[in-house]
């Protein structure tokens, strides 16, 4: 049996047999479900597409599915630092949750703070061959977690546009959309609506027409989700351009070349890559639509996670690659939320920190508030911000990037300027991990300042986003903090970071698992471009 995709055909052996069997083992068995993909409705009754994957590609029991999705969302073993703003679009894999759930969760968890009220969901057709975008007839799509209402108004508008088809058969047995729905139900506010589209073959004219129509309804309260796996490699998939032990690495290189084109919003480059290598990226056409709809928008793409099926089953002869990508709107460096420190103010604070340490080492008075409210020796800018009471850390690093001192206060109990002066001197002279900084080495140190947002208590580690959140751990009388940049700089996953944080607090590594309280904050960090840059120069 073969699956017909947009532009290529692949055997169904792996997905229908091997993948199915492992998912059954992972979920503890198969629960009988109605297998009809879309049900006709009596007058006045909603027409709901019933789930076809529950009990096979993910758990059929609602409570078990909710727990499983939370586990996938919590896994951060491959997490990368991300901007503070939620993404406007994500690309996620669509294999069974056992295989690709952790990768998908890495992107979906970024939508928790998006507040999106609608999702445009694009997935490739694996079973029905057609050209264009298939619009469903149903009123809702259901999973074991409940129904999701479709945005019937938007779908009616799209149905009237060139390139869109009224084709319920394309949705009936398609897995690429359904597999994403439980994640959306766990990360978005209750009541969000769905615009699900199955994508077939697309010529250039159809890409422009369909992509343009999608762009028109992709507003500030809508997130665009593209469902796609990447390379399908091996005899099972009829794709063996690489041979020998280096084949998995060659697959990875091919995937990352494609990912690079996507992140660069280079549709022409992605299409050229496909023509040269006959790639088996099953969501190629949905990806083309993403890049068309995003053209003209100021979005920054980032790789969030990358894995493959061999990570689970050890089969490198036949593997499928999974990638999680996210596309973020601009994050203004002069207005990153609560810690709004402009570039001029950043430069002023960096000069102030260095001059404070220099004065301390020379036995001179520290910079102090002048009659006009500015520290003596520093220029004036952004007075309101610099007078605010903010938590702030000052970090010193040597020319090789090694830590030389870091001290700060989490809660702002003094004006930001004063906190920078006090913590700069403390980092240079009173960090118990290091001997005090000497006058001779000062010119070789680079100053970094992190201005903090207020602390916010969270329910537990699953609410922590590595790279975005600084973390405070409290347990009894024990307390410790890591700035947001610590985990990415050290290459730690979530659990490894928390083990180190517990150790820093004087606890055993695993003591954070029970009885601990967690607080998070964000930080606006900036540093001197070069060591010894007395005149400042924030990045």
307 and 210, same structural domain?
Answer: yes
**The last residue of a domain, from among 328, 353, 379:** 328
88 and 16, same structural domain?
Answer: yes
Instruction: Determine the structural domain holding residue 190 and report its residue range.
Output: 2-328
Number of domains in the chain: 2
Residue 176: pLDDT band by 50, 70, 90 thresholds?
Answer: very high
284 and 232, same structural domain?
Answer: yes
DSSP letter at 242 equals -
DSSP letter at 150 equals B
CA dihedral 270, 271, 276, 281 (to 10 degrees): 70
List Cα–Cα distances, 146 to 13, 96, 109, 155, 368, in angstroms.
31, 19, 20, 21, 61
On whether the CB atoms of residues 226 and 180 are closer than 8 A, the answer is: no
297 and 266, same structural domain?
Answer: yes
**CATH number of the CATH domain containing 289:** 3.40.830.10
Mind listing the pLDDT tens digit for each residue in 258-283? Answer: 998 898 889 999 999 999 999 999 99
In a domain, 536, yes or no: no
In a domain, 181, yes or no: yes
Distance CA 404, CA 329 (A): 35
Residue 161: pLDDT band by 50, 70, 90 thresholds?
Answer: very high
Q: How far is CA 460 from the centre of its chain?
A: 19
User: Quick check: 159 pLDDT over 90?
Assistant: yes
Distance CA 110, CA 85 (A): 9
User: Quick check: 405 pLDDT over 60?
Assistant: yes
Which value, in Å, is the radius of gyration of the alpha carbons in the chain? 26
In a domain, 338, yes or no: no
Write down the pLDDT at residue 339: 44
Closest by CA position to 19, among listed 238, 232, 217: 232
Element (H, E) at 324: strand 319-328
**The last residue of a domain, from among 294, 328, 362:** 328
Closest by CA position to 24, among listed 126, 115, 97: 97
365 and 288, same structural domain?
Answer: no
Write down the pLDDT at residue 390: 86
Q: Looking at 410-505, which runs of residues are DSSP E strands?
A: 446-452, 456-458, 470-475, 478-482
361 and 307, same structural domain?
Answer: no
Distance CA 99, CA 312 (A): 6
Task: For tokens 């005899």, name the residue.
Answer: 235
Distance CA 464, CA 501 (A): 13
372 and 516, same structural domain?
Answer: yes
User: Quick check: 537 pLDDT over 60?
Assistant: no
391 and 264, same structural domain?
Answer: no
Task: For tokens 């009809």, name the residue.
Answer: 36
350 and 321, same structural domain?
Answer: no
318 and 444, same structural domain?
Answer: no
In a domain, 28, yes or no: yes
In a domain, 318, yes or no: yes
**CATH number of the CATH domain containing 455:** 3.30.700.20
In a domain, 510, yes or no: yes
In a domain, 54, yes or no: yes
List Cα–Cα distances, 284 to 5, 81, 227, 295, 459, in angstroms.
10, 26, 10, 17, 39
Residues in a beta bridge with 124: 199
What's the rounded mean pLDDT across residues 332-336? 43
Write down the pLDDT at residue 468: 83
On whether the CB atoms of residues 133 and 290 are closer than 8 A, the answer is: no
Beta pairing, strands 133-135 & 193-199: antiparallel
201 and 58, same structural domain?
Answer: yes
Mind listing the pLDDT tens digit for each residue in 3-29? Answer: 323 333 333 333 333 333 333 333 333
412 and 309, same structural domain?
Answer: no
In a domain, 335, yes or no: no
On whether the CB atoms of residues 68 and 101 are closer than 8 A, the answer is: yes
User: Quick check: 307 pLDDT over 50?
Assistant: yes
Closest by CA position to 133, among listed 180, 195, 76, 190: 195
């Amino acid at each position: 049996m073969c699956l017909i995709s947009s532009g290529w055909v692949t055997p169904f052996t792996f997905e229908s047999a091997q993948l199915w069997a492992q998912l059954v083992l992972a979920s503890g068995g198969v629960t009988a479900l109605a297998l009809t993909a879309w049900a006709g409705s009596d007058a006045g009754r909603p027409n709901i597409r019933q789930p076809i994957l529950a009990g096979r590609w993910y758990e059929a029991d609602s409570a078990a599915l909710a727990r499983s999705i939370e586990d996938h969302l919590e896994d951060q073993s491959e997490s990368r630092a991300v901007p503070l703003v939620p993404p406007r679009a994500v690309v996620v894999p669509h294999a069974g949750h056992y295989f690709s759930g952790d990768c998908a969760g890495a992107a979906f968890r970024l939508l928790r703070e998006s507040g999106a009220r609608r999702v445009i969901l694009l997935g490739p057709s694996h079973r029905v061959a057609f050209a264009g975008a298939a619009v469903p007839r149903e009123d809702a799509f259901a999973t074991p977690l409940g129904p999701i209402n479709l945005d019937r108004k938007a779908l009616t508008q799209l149905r009237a546009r060139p390139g869109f088809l009224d084709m319920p058969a394309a949705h009936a047995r398609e897995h690429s959309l359904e597999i994403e729905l439980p994640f959306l139900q766990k990360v978005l506010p209750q009541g969000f609506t769905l615009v699900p589209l199955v994508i077939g073959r697309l010529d250039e004219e159809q890409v422009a027409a369909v992509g343009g129509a999608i762009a028109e309804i992709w507003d500030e309260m809508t997130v665009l989700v593209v469902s796609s796996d990447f390379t399908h490699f091996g005899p099972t998939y009829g794709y063996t351009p690489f041979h020998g032990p280096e084949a998995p690495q060659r697959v990875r290189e091919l995937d990352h070349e494609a990912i690079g084109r996507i992140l660069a919003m280079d549709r022409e480059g992605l299409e050229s890559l496909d023509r040269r290598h006959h790639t088996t990226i099953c969501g190629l056409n949905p990806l083309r639509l993403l890049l068309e709809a995003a053209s003209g928008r100021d979005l920054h793409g980032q790789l969030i996670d990358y894995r493959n099926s061999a990570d689970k089953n050890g089969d490198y002869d036949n593997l499928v690659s999974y990638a999680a990508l996210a596309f973020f709107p601009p994050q203004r460096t002069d207005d990153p939320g609560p810690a709004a420190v402009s570039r001029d103010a950043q430069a002023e604070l960096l000069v102030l920190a260095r001059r404070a340490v220099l004065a301390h080492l020379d036995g001179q008075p520290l910079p102090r508030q002048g009659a006009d409210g500015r520290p003596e020796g520093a220029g004036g800018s952004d007075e309101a911000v610099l007078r605010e009471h903010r938590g702030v850390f000052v970090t010193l690093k040597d020319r090789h990037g090694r830590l030389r001192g870091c001290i700060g206060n989490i809660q702002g109990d003094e004006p930001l300027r004063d906190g920078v002066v006090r913590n700069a001197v403390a980092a240079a002279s009173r960090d118990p991990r290091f001997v005090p900084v000497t006058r001779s080495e000062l010119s070789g140190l680079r100053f970094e300042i992190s201005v903090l947002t207020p602390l916010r208590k969270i329910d537990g580690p699953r609410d922590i986003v590595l790279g975005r959140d600084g973390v405070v751990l409290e347990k009894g009388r024990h307390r410790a903090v890591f700035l947001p940049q610590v985990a990415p700089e050290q290459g730690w996953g979530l659990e490894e970071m928390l083990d180190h944080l517990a150790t820093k607090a004087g606890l055993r590594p695993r003591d954070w698992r029970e009885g601990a309280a967690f607080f998070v904050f964000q930080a606006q960090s900036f540093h001197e471009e070069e060591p010894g840059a007395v005149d400042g120069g924030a990045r």
